[in-house]
C-alpha cells in the first residue's frame, strides 16, 4: 500500500507565519494583553495557512497551539512538523482543559477573545474553564492585521478575478431566455469551480427585470427575460475572494435605464479615482454619491459605495456615509460598487475590485469591460441546455 504523502510547509510559509505571530504578539503587548484565542476560520487561515473548521489557535508569549479534534489530527501534521505550532487534539472538554493548562504554564494573567466570534454561552463556558484567568473581549484585533494585503494575497485575488471573469463569459454564452435565475447562478458556480476556484466567494446574486432592484436578491425560479439582468458574483482562490457586479441588458434598454447605467458608471469612476492613500471611506462614498445625487437618484442609492475585500468578501475598511472614517492605506483591496435601484422597474450596479497603491488606484478587474455598448447583449435564442 502506498503511504499517503502530506505536504510540508515551505520556507516562505514558515517565514510568513513567524512574521504574523510576531506582529500579533507585539499588538497584544501594546494592548496590555498576554494571550489571544483566535476562533475565526479566516483569521486562523490568515495566521497559520490551515483551514480553521472546528479548530482554534491559542497564542501566548511563548507558543502557538492549534487546538482541534481527531477529525483534523492527520490534516494538521504538517503544522506540527514545521515546529511553528504545538497541536492539542481532544474532545471539547479536553480542549478546554489543555488550553487552561497552557495558560497557567505560560503565566498568562489574561486571555483576549474575539468578541465577534464568541457567543454569550461560549464566553461563559470559557470563563468557567479558565478561571481565575481574566477574559478580555477584543474587537477588530485581527482586522488590523488583515487590511493590508501581502503580495501573495494580492496575487490570489488577481487569480480569483480571472477565474470569475472566464466563468461569466461561458455562463453568458450558455444563457437562454427562460433559464431561471437560480440556473444562471448555478452555472456561474460550476464554471468557477471548473477553473480551479476552491469555492464561490458568496452565493451569486442574479436578478432579472424588476428583481434587479432588490440589492441582495436571492435567485430562484424566476425566469430570465428580456431587459435588465444584474449579476453579482465572486470566486475564492487560495483563501482570497473576488467580488464583481455587472449589469447587462438583453436587448436595447429604454432611455431611463440607459441613463441610469451611465450615471452609475460615472459615479463609479469618481469613487475609484478617490481611492488613494490617506482618503477616508466617507470621502470615497461621497465622490460617488455626489454624481448620483446630481442626477436626481440620490434616494435610490441605498448602500455604501464599497468595502474591504480579502479572506472574507466583506471586511474592513467599509465605505459609507456615516461612521466609516477608515483611512485607506497602500496595500488595501476594496470594492467600488455604486448603484441605483427603482422598485418594480429594475436596478443598475457596477462593481470592481481596486488595489490602493502609492501612485493611486489600480483596477484589478479592468479587463472586464463595463461600457454601456458592451453591456447590451443580443437577446439569447435557442434551447436551454439540459
Q: Answer yes or no: do 352 and 289 share one domain.
A: yes
Could you give the C-alpha distances from 320 to 282, 307, 311, 324, 330, in angstroms and in order?
5, 9, 21, 6, 20
For the stretch 237-288, pLDDT in tens is 999 999 999 999 999 999 999 999 999 999 999 999 999 999 999 999 999 9
In a domain, 6, yes or no: no
The last residue of one of the domains, among 125, 146, 167, is 146
Give me the pLDDT at residue 321, please: 87
pLDDT tops 60 at residue 3: no
In a domain, 383, yes or no: no
The last residue of one of the domains, among 146, 181, 213, is 146
With cut-offs at 50, 70 and 90, classify the pLDDT of residue 384: confident
In a domain, 83, yes or no: yes
Q: Answer yes or no: do 23 and 142 share one domain.
A: yes
pTM above 0.85, yes or no: yes
Residues 6+ apart with CB under 8 A from 329: 147, 148, 277, 356
What is the extent of the structural domain holding 139? 11-146
Q: Answer yes or no: do 343 and 204 share one domain.
A: yes
For the stretch 30-78, pLDDT in tens is 999 999 999 999 999 999 999 878 899 999 999 999 999 999 999 999 9
Structural domain total, the chain: 2
Q: Answer yes or no: do 93 and 169 share one domain.
A: no
The last residue of one of the domains, among 123, 146, 169, is 146
Q: Is the peptide bond before 182 cis (omega within 30 degrees of 0)?
A: no
In a domain, 270, yes or no: yes
CATH number for 368:
3.90.230.10
Amino acid at each position: 500500500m502506498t503511504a499517503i504523502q502530506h505536504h510540508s510547509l515551505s520556507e516562505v510559509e514558515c517565514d510568513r507565519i513567524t512574521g504574523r505571530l510576531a506582529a500579533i504578539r507585539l499588538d497584544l503587548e501594546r494592548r496590555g494583553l498576554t494571550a489571544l484565542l483566535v476562533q475565526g476560520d479566516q483569521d486562523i487561515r490568515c495566521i497559520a495557512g490551515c483551514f480553521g473548521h472546528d479548530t482554534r489557535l491559542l497564542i501566548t508569549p511563548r507558543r502557538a497551539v492549534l487546538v482541534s479534534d481527531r477529525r483534523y489530527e492527520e490534516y494538521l501534521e504538517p503544522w506540527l512538523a514545521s515546529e511553528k505550532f504545538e497541536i492539542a487534539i481532544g474532545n471539547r472538554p479536553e480542549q478546554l482543559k489543555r488550553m487552561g493548562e497552557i495558560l497557567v504554564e505560560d503565566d498568562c494573567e489574561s486571555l483576549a477573545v474575539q468578541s465577534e466570534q464568541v457567543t454569550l454561552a461560549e464566553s461563559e463556558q470559557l470563563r468557567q474553564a479558565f478561571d481565575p484567568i481574566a477574559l478580555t473581549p477584543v474587537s477588530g484585533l485581527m482586522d488590523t492585521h488583515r487590511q493590508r494585503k501581502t503580495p501573495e494575497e494580492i496575487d490570489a485575488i488577481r487569480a480569483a478575478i480571472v477565474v470569475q471573469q472566464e466563468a461569466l463569459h461561458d455562463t453568458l454564452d450558455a444563457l437562454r431566455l427562460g433559464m431561471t435565475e437560480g440556473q444562471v447562478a448555478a452555472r456561474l458556480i460550476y464554471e468557477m469551480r471548473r477553473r480551479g476556484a476552491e469555492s464561490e466567494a458568496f452565493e451569486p446574486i442574479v436578478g432579472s427585470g424588476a428583481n434587479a432592484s432588490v440589492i441582495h436578491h436571492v435567485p430562484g425560479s424566476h425566469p430570465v427575460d428580456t431587459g435588465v439582468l444584474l449579476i453579482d458574483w465572486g470566486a475564492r482562490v487560495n483563501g482570497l475572494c473576488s467580488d464583481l457586479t455587472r449589469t447587462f441588458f438583453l436587448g436595447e434598454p429604454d432611455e431611463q435605464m440607459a441613463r441610469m447605467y451611465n450615471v452609475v458608471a460615472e459615479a463609479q469612476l469618481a469613487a475609484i479615482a478617490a481611492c488613494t492613500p490617506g482618503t477616508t471611506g466617507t470621502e470615497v462614498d461621497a465622490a460617488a454619491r455626489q454624481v448620483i445625487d446630481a442626477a436626481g437618484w440620490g434616494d435610490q442609492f441605498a448602500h455604501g459605495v464599497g468595502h474591504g475585500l480579502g479572506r472574507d468578501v466583506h471586511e474592513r475598511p467599509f465605505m459609507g456615509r456615516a461612521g466609516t472614517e477608515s483611512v485607506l492605506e497602500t496595500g488595501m483591496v476594496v470594492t467600488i460598487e455604486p448603484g441605483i435601484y427603482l422598485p418594480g422597474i429594475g436596478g443598475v450596479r457596477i462593481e470592481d475590485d481596486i488595489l490602493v497603491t502609492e501612485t493611486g488606484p489600480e483596477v484589478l478587474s479592468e479587463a472586464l469591460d463595463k461600457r454601456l455598448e458592451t453591456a447590451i447583449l443580443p437577446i439569447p435564442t435557442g434551447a436551454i441546455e439540459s
